[in-house]
Amino acid sequence: MSELSVNHLLGIKYLNKKDISLIFETADHFKEVINRSIKKVPTLRDITIANIFFENSTRTKLSFELAEKRLSADVVNFSAGQSSVKKGETLIDTVNNILSMKVDMVVMRHPNPGAGIFLSQHVKASIVNAGDGAHEHPTQALLDSFSIREKLGDVGGKNVVIVGDILHSRVALSNIFALKLQGANVKVCGPKTLIPKHIESLGVEVETNLRKALEWCDVANMLRVQNERMDISYFPSTREYTQQFGVNKEMLNSLDKQIVIMHPGPINRGVEITSDVADSDQSIILHQVENGVAVRMAVLYLLASKIK
């Protein structure tokens, strides 16, 4: 039986190509499971998983919880807003208190980059990073690549452009790592103020003209502008951003090929993409959400099999 080369999923940076292939092959099986009339398997029946979210989340939290329940795991949900963290408790104390209740795995989202790595060095449970600040969001990148593979047959050799707020996006960084690892060609596109310096060192190209980027790509992954992470103004107005970097149906129809449109959500309709693009045949946004459950089931299953 193949197994992952890691004991935690902290970031795509720590995975190799074989790990990604194994996760996808396992997710293929679980995708078939969640489309049956009986959607549950007893695989993780004796495993307890704590979902610890220090930041707001809808899709990711629901997706993880559903994945855990489909695998028959016992699930504990923890929200920082109603916890002792508000009273000054440290992250390690919070998690150790939860682990003392015999929890095997922790799925954590945290506003500080590296929180998952720090935790993995101090506690015995298996850690899954559900997003750490503007650093990484590994399961989102895995489900994005899985969705491209499902739609186009293979990720290797495909041209993928990531459009929008690259600077504040954990999805962008994880996607760049995952796509490059699988042999895709990657460009980023957005206002220069929202493109990190030296991003070319990751093996990607920068394109500031959206039209050229769309003509080049097979897949466009549209990111929202993360206003909640901005302490200064990075562009004059939302209207101007939309004129320069928003995708509408007219623009898609004028291309000489059909490209695939993706979005990690939540969508700001009318800003980065219009409603007729989000709901079009070229969009695989809802497939991404469905695939998210299968991919997270695969990750949890593979990590659980390494728990001693």
- Is residue 296 a known part of a binding site? no
- Is residue 193 a known part of a binding site? no
- Is residue 292 a known part of a binding site? no
- Is residue 236 a known part of a binding site? no
- Is residue 266 a known part of a binding site? yes
- Is residue 170 a known part of a binding site? yes
Q: Could you give the CA distance from residue 186 to residue 204 in angstroms, rounded to a whole number?
A: 5
SS3 254: coil
Is the alpha carbon torsion for 191, 195, 201, 203 positive or negative?
Answer: negative
Asked if residue 266 has a cis previous peptide bond (ω within 30° of 0), the answer is: yes
Two tokens at 94? Answer: 């919070």
172 torsion bin: left (phi>0), alpha (psi -120 to 50), beta (else): alpha
- Is residue 269 a known part of a binding site? no
Two tokens at 205? Answer: 């190209």
- Is residue 308 a known part of a binding site? no
Q: Give phi and psi for 26, each to the nearest 5.
A: -70, -40
Q: Cite the annotated binding site for carbamoyl phosphate by residue number.
A: 59-60, 109, 137, 140, 265-266
Residues at the annotated binding site? 59-60, 87, 109, 137, 140, 170, 224, 265-266
Binding residues for L-aspartate are 87, 170, 224
